[in-house]
Amino acid sequence: MYHNPVLLNESVLGLSIKPNGTYVDVTFGGGGHSLEILKHLNKGKLIVFDQDEDAERNLPDDERIIFVNNNFRYLKNFLKFYKATPVDGIIADLGVSSYQFDNPERGFSIRFEGDLDLRMDQKSKTDAKTILNKYPQEKLRDIFFKFGEVHNASKLARLIVDKRKDEEIASITRFKDLISTCTPKEKENKYLAKVFQALRIEVNDELNSLKEMLLQSKEVLRSGGRFVVISYHSLEDRLIKNFFRSGNLEGKIEKDFFGVPQTPFKLITRKPIIATEKEIEKNSRARSARLRIAEKI
């Protein structure tokens, strides 16, 4: 197992697992959450999704589990294929796995030298190198501003377009060197983390995938089924908060003729659950984690 699960006990407890129920882990990764779910199942079923084919190495030898090597944006289609609807619970841990961060070849971490990749699905044609060398300046600016909240996104995009005229931007180290004049002194790591987050979200189309999966959850969850989501940045958390509150991505609560709010979910957590200082000491990734739980009405 290569993933150290964040908020493990809180998230699995939040699923309120029925021993003979059907559950879905849409972000299998290193299998940490899935292994814990299996401990609570008797004759139940667990369907796990991961677009990273490396994740399949972590599958336990257990007939109760089905592995889907695909993006969770296809949740409904695969659950129908396996005749698994409706399900009793869904869990999503939206962070990058520890394995992906710690593997230099994948390009997720600014700590290592490596190619500018950032693809969760290695079969995808678009990587970070393609974006940095091919996207127009305006689109680069929008990506850094929207997905990374980079304060000087316009300056950064302009610099990238200027530098790539002389040479292809191909490696992490070279990219960091080329944008050093945009990087605030003594805050390099925080700034670069935002830049790489923005690139990663664009490479993997993460927000659109999340939106599609959220909307499909209403169709595949049974009444009383739980939806547990761990997010790591404000864009994701805002979407989840709006969806759990209203059943739509905008957060607009519809009302019936009598003015009674109409929503498909009951909030189990009014505010997000965050990690304890003790967990953060053991796993720094937990610092930005936000756990929200809702139940299908």
Closest C-alpha to 87, from 32, 133, 23? 23
Predicted structure pTM score: 0.93
Q: Report the alpha-carbon distance of residue 44 to residue 19 in Å, rounded.
A: 6
How high is the pLDDT of residue 186?
Answer: 85
Q: Which residues neighbour 220 within 8 Å (Cβ) at sequence distance 6 or greater?
A: 24, 75, 76, 79, 85, 86, 87, 90
End-to-end CA distance of the chain: 35
Does residue 102 register a pLDDT over 70? no
CATH architecture group of domain 113-204? Orthogonal Bundle (1.10)
The full set of domain ranges for the chain reads 8-98+206-296, 113-204
- How many residues in total does the chain contain? 297
- Whether residue 260 contacts residue 252, with contact meaning beta carbons closer than 8 Å, is answered with no
Residue 61's pLDDT band (cuts 50, 70, 90): very high
| Tens digits of residue pLDDT in 190-241 | 999 999 999 999 999 999 999 999 999 999 999 999 999 999 999 999 999 9
| Residue scoring higher pLDDT (4 or 111) | 4
Radius of gyration of the chain (CA): 20
Cα 14–Cα 227–Cα 294 angle in degrees, nearest 5: 75
DSSP codes, 30-71: TSHHHHHHHHH-SS-EEEEE-S-GGGGGG--S-TTEEEE-S-
How high is the pLDDT of residue 1?
Answer: 45
Pick the CATH number of 8-98+206-296 from 3.40.50.2300, 3.40.50.150, 3.40.190.150, 3.40.640.10: 3.40.50.150
| Tens digits of residue pLDDT in 121-131 | 989 999 999 99
Count of C-beta atoms within a 10 Å radius of residue 164: 14
| Residue scoring higher pLDDT (107 or 294) | 294
